[in-house]
Amino acid sequence: MKILGLIGGISWVSTADYYRLINEGINTKMGGLNFSHCIIHSFNYATIKKNNDAQDWDATFSMVSDACIHLKNSGATAIVLCANTMHVIAERLENTLDIPIIHIASATAKAIQEKRIKKVGLLGTKFTMEMDFFTSKLAARDIEAIIPGEEDREFIHNTIYYELGKGLVLEGTQRRYLAIIESLVQRGADGIVLGCTEISMLVHQRDVVVPVFDTTHIHAEAAIAFSLA
């Protein structure tokens, strides 16, 4: 079993989900008392949020790069960035490390392609929806991503940080998310990508008429596959 290095705390809520999903997945495949061999570096979310607000990706890169090096020196053979937005620096990180980054968008694009879906609605932070670090991985597999309007993007972005990132699940927020998803389906989305690792707290497949792609679960499965390869 290969050792995984998990970069977490972005947020701690989804990091806990990653830890659970990866361990459960390893145990399902190997049985007995077999669980994941992994190391976690968990950041203070407030520091990451401050950098994000300033779009100071250099500061975030420096922090995360140092953490990756510590994980590698401790035996990690691959890095799992436990957040979609953090993948804005994924390729830059991989260029400075000699171990791979298991990319959340690449794994998600593969899962969408396997369903033969060509157009998806993408939800996430404004960075994930508006920048190309995620959508470019979809486009590489001929998958078009559409995103909500500006007001809805702002709502999603803020609730990710100030509700979901704190573990808060509010009924009114869930209703608004489902309405946003319905509008994306009306615009032609044949699938919905939960492009933030906390959105699965609010949105489930039973709530949506088209396939839902939960990036947390997809990413965890990719990490499990790497660990056991």
Summarised one tens digit per residue, pLDDT across range 187-199 is 999 999 999 999 9
Question: Which pLDDT value is given to residue 34?
Answer: 98
Model confidence pTM above 0.75? yes
Structure token digits, residue 52: 């994000």
Instruction: Report residue 139's pLDDT band, with 50, 70 and 90 as the boundaries.
Output: very high
Whether residues 15 and 66 fall in one domain: yes
pLDDT in tens, 82-133: 999 999 999 999 999 999 999 999 999 999 999 999 999 999 999 999 999 9
Question: Which pLDDT value is given to residue 113?
Answer: 98
Question: Which pLDDT value is given to residue 69?
Answer: 97
Question: Which pLDDT value is given to residue 129?
Answer: 97
Whether residues 209 and 222 fall in one domain: no
Whether residues 165 and 147 fall in one domain: yes
Question: Which pLDDT value is given to residue 42?
Answer: 97
Angle formed at CA 81 by CA 152 and CA 117, multiple of 5 degrees: 55
Whether residues 124 and 60 fall in one domain: no
Whether residues 44 and 18 fall in one domain: yes
Instruction: Report residue 141's pLDDT band, with 50, 70 and 90 as the boundaries.
Output: very high
pLDDT in tens, 14-39: 999 999 999 999 999 999 999 999 99
Structural domain tally of the chain? 2
Whether residues 131 and 92 fall in one domain: no
Whether residues 158 and 82 fall in one domain: no
Instruction: Judge whether 177 and 155 are in contact, CB under 8 Å.
Output: no
- How far is the C-alpha of 121 from the C-alpha of 183, rounded, in Å? 9
Angle formed at CA 205 by CA 40 and CA 86, multiple of 5 degrees: 30
Question: Which pLDDT value is given to residue 114?
Answer: 98
State the residue range of the domain holding 24.
Answer: 4-103+218-228
CATH number reported for the structural domain that contains residue 150 in this entry: 3.40.50.1860
Q: Which residues contact 49 (CB under 8 A, 6 or more apart)?
A: 161
Question: Which pLDDT value is given to residue 135?
Answer: 97
Share of the chain above pLDDT 90, in %: 97
SS3 124: coil
Whether residues 137 and 159 fall in one domain: yes
Question: Which pLDDT value is given to residue 4?
Answer: 98
Whether residues 87 and 130 fall in one domain: no
For all residues of the chain together, what is the average pLDDT?
Answer: 96
